[in-house]
Amino acid sequence: MPADQRRLWHWLHVALWDPPPAPLRPIEVLQQPGVRIYAEDWGRAGDIGVVAELDGQAEPIGACWMRQLPTGVGLASVDERTPQLGIALEPAFQHRGLGGPLMRAALQAARRQGVQQVALTVHPENPAITLYERCGFVRQGLRGSYHLMVAPLAQALRSNELS
């Protein structure tokens, strides 16, 4: 929703993972054209997102979102029909088994909207690769030094990956 714009900028910043001991990137990274494309003017046609809420928490704890971009735009570009996915959980809620349900909910939302596949890129040292694989993503090659991963949603549903 457009009302989630401020939080989405924050979650995009959290999602920009670098191997430890690297700190969070400077906030100015969000101004780079290759980064801002994933959150700018959120809520336009084709944007899909799920916000994670947890009982007892006053604020949402994360989000999984995706956006269709023109072919060749974005590090995870496959084609104009394949949304590029981002996911972030607040640091206090990472490594607690919450990413899988969040990602599966977002993939189910995409499937309901007729999306056939979703793409993402991930740093080779990011332990979230195993989560992505459990959610149906398959490595398709390298984009720079990042793995390009694609989840064919119809296949994932047949194998019950999204249930």
Under the banding of pLDDT at 50, 70 and 90, the label for residue 155 is: low
Q: How far apart are CA 151 and CA 9, in angstroms?
A: 24
CA angle (112 as vertex; 142, 60 as ends), nearest 5: 75
DSSP symbols for 139-159? EEEEETTEEEEEEEHHHHHHT
Under the banding of pLDDT at 50, 70 and 90, the label for residue 4 is: confident
Q: How far apart are CA 150 and CA 115, in angstroms?
A: 12
DSSP character at residue 88? E
Structural domains in the chain, sorted by start: 2-158 (3.40.630.30)
Q: Express each pLDDT in 8-53 by its tens digit.
A: 999 999 999 999 899 999 999 999 999 999 999 999 999 999 999 9
Task: Evaluate if residue 163 carries a pLDDT over 70.
Answer: no
